[in-house]
Amino acid sequence: MNAEDEETTVEMILEEAAREIHRSVGVRMHRLGVCEWEVRLWLVSSGLACGAWRVVVANVTGRTCTVHVSSAYKKFGCTNNTESKSTHLDDLPAVI
């Protein structure tokens, strides 16, 4: 798998996972007043998909689901080490 295909595959997997979570708890979250939620994660990979990823799900009406998947790997680089670095995703800018 080439690096560009890997990035596209990761985006599709993250979007599908977010939609599955929305199917499971989206109506409940809307009733509780949660109109938007996000998940941030760090992916370790040998390709371009390596780095910080952010998934933002908006559910303003309770009947819609808008998913934005973005990554910050281009600006921050990545290492193939499996050792954890002290990088906090809160310090990374939102790329939407």
CB 22, CB 64: distance < 8 Å: no
What's the rounded Cα separation, in Å, for the pair 26 and 19? 9
**pLDDT by residue (tens digit) across 16-32?**
999 999 889 888 888 89
What's the rounded Cα separation, in Å, for the pair 39 and 42? 10
Residue 12 CB contacts under 8 Å (≥ 6 apart), including other chains: none
Q: What SS3 class is residue 53?
A: strand
pTM: 0.68
Which residue ranges make up each domain of the chain?
Answer: 3-88
DSSP 8-state symbol, 56: E
**pLDDT by residue (tens digit) across 26-82?**
888 888 999 999 999 888 877 778 888 999 999 888 778 899 998 875 444 544 333
